[in-house]
Amino acid sequence: MRDRYAVVGNPVAHSKSPQIHAEFARATGQDLEYGRLEAPLDGFERTVAAFRSQGGKGLNVTVPFKEAAFRYCARVSERARKAQVVNTLVLSGPDVFGDTTDGVGLVNDLARNLHFDLKGKSLLLIGAGGAAQGVVQALLDAGVARLLIANRTVSRAQALAARHGVAACGYQELAGERFDVVVNATSAGLAGEAPKLPRSAFESAALAYEMVYGRDTPFLVQARAAGARASDGLGMLVEQAAESFLLWRGLRPDTRAILEQLRGG
């Protein structure tokens, strides 16, 4: 039987992960299958347990289960422990191991695909949900000089910032602030909305990064109108997938071909 992997989430029908991992498997000559698992909102643990008992080797975890996945693991990586979220489960060992590859996925997309150097930069991270939690440590490790976290619900930003020793605020307090890069880790774009940022947030920004992908969100439109270079999160999706593949299969696939394929190139 071929080794089985899947992405678990709710909803999960839209996920591009099966296409990405199928291409990675083809390109690296790995014999595996990768599907989708829609878990009931109250059924993450039993869905994962059933997949594992049927011989499943690994799972990617997407909205809204990344925090539940962290709690489910017997062991987690150091970066997942700091983030308190897990997006990759390794099920092939004697116990369940969890890691988070979103942070390294974002940093790799910025460095490799967008050729943007984070070292010494001032960065505004918007959002404090699972996606934001997963990237803070990787951004700090990449040499960001200043990282400010802003969220609609300020208390969530404060809790996340406190874990990493950085600052947090609400959107109104951003008036007059300037950043080299603005990263939108909210899900506002999925609803056709943008976080209500003051225009000044983009004024000095060389890059505005939207984690949502596959649509021209109001955040991207605003950033371009303010003169910033703007990117969606498709590259992050592909790069985090490559890191999950590395954890499961011991080799890191090239990401260029699938990124071009997904962008319709």
**Catalytic residue positions?**
66
Of 56, 58, 103, 195, the residue at the interface with ligand NAP (CB under 6 A) is 195
Interface positions, 65-84, toward ligand NAP (CB under 6 A): none
Q: Where are the alpha helices (DSSP H) in 63-146?
A: 66-72, 78-83, 102-108, 130-141
Of 56, 98, 103, 129, the residue at the interface with ligand NAP (CB under 6 A) is 129
Supply the minimum distance, in Å, between the C-beta of residue 53 and ligand NAP. 27
Kindly determine how many residues on this chain lie close enough to bind ligand NAP according to the rule CB under 6 A: 28
Residues 3-42: x where in contact with ligand NAP by CB under 6 A, - otherwise, as a string:
----------------------------------------
Of 20, 188, 197, 207, the residue at the interface with ligand NAP (CB under 6 A) is 188
Give the separation between CA 170 and CA 209, rounded to whole angstroms.
19
Residue 131 in the binding site for ligand NAP (CB under 6 A): yes
Of the pair 191, 225, the CB lying nearest ligand NAP is at: 191
Which tokens sit at 106?
Answer: 């974002």
Residue 155 in the binding site for ligand NAP (CB under 6 A): no
Of the pair 120, 155, the CB lying nearest ligand NAP is at: 155
Eight-state DSSP code of residue 64 = T
Q: Are 219 and 194 in contact (CB under 8 A)?
A: yes
The one-letter amino acid at 15? S
Residue 226, helix vs strand vs coil: coil
Strand order in the sheet with 3-9: 32-38, 3-9, 58-61, 88-90, 97-99, 75-76
Q: Among 18, 8, 32, 29, which residue's Cα sits nearest to residue 248? A: 32
Of 77, 80, 90, 102, the residue at the interface with ligand NAP (CB under 6 A) is 102
Interface positions, 216-235, toward ligand NAP (CB under 6 A): 233
Of the pair 187, 204, the CB lying nearest ligand NAP is at: 187
Q: Among 127, 143, 129, which residue's Cα sits nearest to residue 183? A: 127
3-state helix, strand, coil in the chain (%, to 5): 40, 20, 40
Region near ligand NAP per CB under 6 A, out of 39-47, 161-169, 180-188, 254-262: 180-188
Of 32, 37, 211, 262, the residue at the interface with ligand NAP (CB under 6 A) is 211
- H helix count then E strand count, the chain: 11, 12
Q: Which residues bind ligand NAP (CB under 6 A)?
A: 63, 102, 105, 127-132, 151-153, 156, 185-188, 190-191, 193, 195, 211-213, 233, 236-237, 240
